[in-house]
Structure 1
Amino acid sequence: MRKVSLATKNPTEGTLGPTWEGPYEITKVCRPGTYQLCDPKGKTLSHPWNADHLKYYYK
C-alpha cells in the first residue's frame, strides 16, 4: 500500500479521505529502501517510492 500525500490526494475527499492507496506490487529495487511499484492492472508508476511511504498489504 502507498501512503496518500498532498500531491496524490483527491481534493474533493477532504480530511476523511483514505490515507493509503493500493495494493501495489514491487517490481524493482532501485536502491536499498527505494522501490518501483506496479498496480494490479500492470501499469508502472512514474517514479520510485521510498519505503517510509509504503506498508505491507496481506491478502
Structure 2
Amino acid sequence: MRKVSLATKNPMEGTLGTTWEGPYEIIGILRSGTYRLRDANGKTLDHPWNVEHLKYYFK
C-alpha cells in the first residue's frame, strides 16, 4: 500500500478521505529503502517510493 500524499490526494474528499491506496507490487529495488512499484493493472509508477511511504499488504 502507498500513502496518499498531498500531491496525490483528491481535495474534494477532505479529512475523511483515504490515507492509503493500492495494492502495489515491488518490481525493483534501487537502493536500500527505495522501491519501484507497479499497480494491479501492470502500469509502472513514474518515480520510485521510499519505504517510509509504503505499508505491507497481504492478500
Calculate the TM-score normalised by the size of structure 2. 0.98
Specify every segment of 5 or more residues in structure 1 that has no aligned partner in the other structure, as ranges.
Answer: none
1:7 and 1:30 map into 2 onto residues whose CA distance is: 23
Aligned-pair identity in percent equals: 75
Residue 40 of structure 2: aligned partner = 40
1:15 counterpart SS class: helix
Calculate the TM-score normalised by the size of structure 1. 0.98
- The Cα RMSD (Å) is 0.4
Specify every segment of 5 or more residues in structure 2 that has no aligned partner in the other structure, as ranges.
Answer: none
Could you list the structure 1 runs, at least 4 aligned residues long, displaced by more than 6 angstroms after superposition: none
Shift of 1:27: 0.4
Count residues with an aligned counterpart. 59
